[in-house]
Structure 1
Amino acid sequence: MPIHHHITEFGGLPVVDFPSWEVLRGSEYPVRDDWAPPSPAPALPAAGSVAWRLRTASSPQVWRGDEAGRVRLPHLETVAGYLDRFFAEVAVEEVTALILADLPGHDYDTRMDETVDVLLERTGRLAGLRSLFVGEILPAERSVSWIRKYDIAELVAALPRLRHLTVRGGADGFGIGFGRHEHLEELVVQSGGLDPDLLRRIVGLDLPGLRNLELWLGDEDYGGGATPDDLAPLLSGKAFPRLERLGVRNVRGLDDWVHALADAPVLSGVRELDLSLGTLTDDGAQGIVDRAAAFAHLERLDLHHHFLSEEMCALVADALPGVDVDLSDPREPEDEDEDELFYYCAVSE
């Protein structure tokens, strides 16, 4: 299942966590108010050899007291202190890939806005950054819809050499209106429900070098509800003329998008189309079969996590013999009541 595990590679590099004090202490270390981090600090890999993940949510939660009256102690380290230590101990000028994961404060509430603000103050030292992932937070840490209220527009604008940007959050999760960016080639926006207004701002960005765009539209019940009209500049082929890979993923109601995509001028220039993680049923797949000529030029069509019958899977594969079609991960709808079946996208709440 997507987003339920931390990534192990990013920007072509293995991922390494920058350790928090709680991690350095370890869950079995005696709870002491005067605990101090080890000196000298543990050896770290060369700054440019890994993708650095910043997170403290994986730190052991420390409790004091007996079963009846135990109290969870606050984190030893503030978000600002943790980030200060990262900039002090890592040659950040050499870092090319950075992941902002769960960074809760003393109250265990995530501080993505604070993290972005600290990085914005130090973008001069991050000039070599090529890949940035904001919000790599797992549902086990906090629901996707709870990753909200941060704005990365100024940060991205201040990183002119950025090539790859991935953002994860809820419907009101992030501001992304950074306008023109000359060198961004890949933009991935992961959400359980992308607000249509935010989506229109995304496809209105000026990204002359964009080659890969991936949008997780999500569920209307969690702030989604976008229609093809909201993607009109993209579907026309005018928004991102160099686009080679398009992902319209994690869509509840994916059947409605099939004909819009088949008719869209943008499709003729795309080599890979990703419609995975959504609620494609036999009705929508029949549209792919009926309009096979519109999809026949693709190198790859990703439909995994679908609600297709075996017979329809065979029809799709037969209709597109020259296309690598991924029809893995078939799903069954949930029977919520006697009269209605529920088709769910992979990521919502």
Structure 2
Amino acid sequence: MYSIDHLSEFHGLPVVAFPEPDNDVELPEADAAAWCIHANAWEGRENWQDAFHRFLATVDAGRVRALVVGSWGATYENDSSLPIGLITAAADRLTSLEAVFVGDMTSEENEISWIEQSDVTVLLAAFPGLLELGVRGGTGLVFPPTRHEKLRRLTLETGGLPGEVVRGIASSTFPSLTHLDLWLGVSEYGGDAELSDLAPLLGGVRFPGLTHLGLRNSEIQNEVAEAVAAAPVVAGLHTLDLSNGVLGDEGAAALLEGQPLTHLACLDLHHHFLSEEMEQRIREELEPHGVLVDLDGRNTPWDDRGPEGRFTSVAE
């Protein structure tokens, strides 16, 4: 299974944890870090609200470019509307904010599908200059159709991405979007998106500037690969990421037999269930054209049950 670590870099900046009270470490310049605000649910020395207010009083808030929301306490009970509400309420002070990531937690802190999220589009409404939005956790996640002129990168990391969220994204207007990464997950943890939900994304019209598309960590990875094989959006991509799911030879064959992929800079298929023969075929067809192919992490089904024993990298 995939190990989810704390972010070390976000929005091109090193992630720096805002220190706990009475820790006199030297801090970087406000615009030189992606600041992670974290409240330890078990030690309980300081809640997230107090940590955030102390952060605003300590750094030059008007120069902060990126915020990373770590644990906000009992995140399996209290949803992300608390930190999101505090950040949006400080919009008049965070005038240079370009990027927010909500839910930077490891499985030791909280399993990804236990993280209680909320309506993250509130951040887009509050910060018209936001360039990047990342979210970890799909439980309770809300994403109604939204318009935002500046957003370039959108990443949703989940063990199960609700179909309603996918439909909300597919109905949104993001004219500047170049990078879209969706972890679709499994139905057991709320990942009920269907191919029809992805159709507007694959049509190439909704987000005409898209150069990176990730449809990852899916229990319907073969069906996704078959749909991508004929999807107009692929022609404009530099990178295509179908990793971390249950991709087998049937899906990979459909991908190779569809439209040409030789224009890609990278095809990421790591964590897969491909045979050695299919791996070799992919390399022979794409690598001579300069395509970087990631085929790391060949898996075998649990209990030798064939396709039914395949598993995604991330679920619970």
Query: Scaled by the length of structure 2, what TM-score is found?
Result: 0.92
1:7 counterpart residue number = 7
Please identify runs of 4+ aligned residues in structure 1 that moved more than 6 A.
none
Which amino acid is 2:303 matched to?
D
Taking the TM superposition and a 5 Å limit, the aligned residue runs for 1:160-171 are 160-170=128-138
Q: Contact 1:279–1:307 (CA<8 Å) still a contact in 2?
A: yes
What is the Cα deviation at residue 336 of structure 1? 7.2
Report if aligned partners of 2:150, 2:175 keep a CA contact under 8 Å in 1. Answer: yes
Q: Are 1:317 and 2:294 matched, yes or no?
A: no
1:72 matched residue in structure 2: none
3-state SS of the aligned residue for 1:294? Answer: coil
1:11 CA drift (Å): 1.4
**CA RMSD of the aligned region, Å?**
2.1
Unaligned stretches of 5+ residues in structure 1: 22-36, 63-74
* CA deviation string 1:155-180 (max 9, x = no partner): 2211111111111112x332233611
Name the SS for the 1:214 alignment partner: strand
| Matches of 1:95 and 1:160, distance apart in 2 | 15
**Is it true that 1:17 corresponds to 2:14 in the alignment?**
no
Residue 241 of structure 1 is matched in structure 2 by 208
Partner of residue 334, structure 1: 302
The structural deviation recorded for 1:14 is 1.2
What are the Cα deviations for residues 49-97 of structure 1, in whole angstroms up to 9, with x where unaligned?
A: 111011122x8x55xxxxxxxxxxxx23232211111111111111111
The Cα shift of 1:46 comes to 1.5
Between the aligned partners of 1:178 and 1:225, the Cα distance in structure 2 is: 18
How many residue pairs were aligned?
314
Please list every run of 5 or more consecutive structure 2 residues that lacks an aligned counterpart in the other structure. Answer: none
- Counterpart in 1 of 2:115? 147
The structure 2 residue matched to 1:78, chosen from 23, 37, 47, is 47
Residue among 78, 81, 98 paired with 1:113: 81
Shift of 1:318: 1.4
User: Among the aligned pairs, what percent are the same residue?
Assistant: 39
Structure 1 residue identity aligned to 2:187: E
Query: For each residue in 1:185-208, what CA deviation from the matched residue of structure 2 results, as whole angstroms up to 9, or x when unmatched?
Result: 111111111111111001111100
Change (3 A) 1:203 1:152: same
Rounded Cα–Cα distance in structure 1 between residues aligned with 2:273 and 2:70: 32
Residues 54 and 100 of structure 1 are in contact (CA less than 8 Å); yes or no, is this contact kept in structure 2?
Answer: yes
CA distance in 2, matches of 1:108, 1:238: 37
In the TM superposition, residue 42 of structure 1 has moved relative to its aligned partner by 4.4
For the residue of structure 2 that corresponds to 1:44, the secondary structure is coil
Deviation at 1:294, TM superposition (A): 2.9
1:182 aligns with 2:149: yes
Partner of 1:263: 230
Per-residue Cα deviation, 1:190-248 (whole angstroms, up to 9, x for no partner): 11111111110011111000011111111111111322210111111111011111111
Amino acid at match of 1:346: S
After superposition, the Cα gap between the structure-2 partners of 1:198 and 1:87, relative to the gap in structure 1 and judged at 3 Å, is same
Task: Write the distance in 1 (CA, Å) between the matches of 2:4 and 2:227.
Answer: 31
What SS does the aligned partner of 2:311 have?
Answer: coil
Question: Which of 1 and 2 has greater Rg?
Answer: 1
Displacement, 1:341? 4.5
How many Å apart are 1:3 and its aligned residue? 5.5
CA deviation string 1:270-321 (max 9, x = no partner) = 1211001111111211212323x43222221110111111111001111223
- C-alpha distance 203-327 of structure 1, shift in aligned 2 (>3 A): same
Structure 1 residue matching 2:260: 3-state secondary structure: helix
Structure 1 residue 299 corresponds to structure 2 residue 265: yes
Q: CA deviation at 1:116?
A: 1.0
Contact 2:76 2:116 in 1 (8 A): no
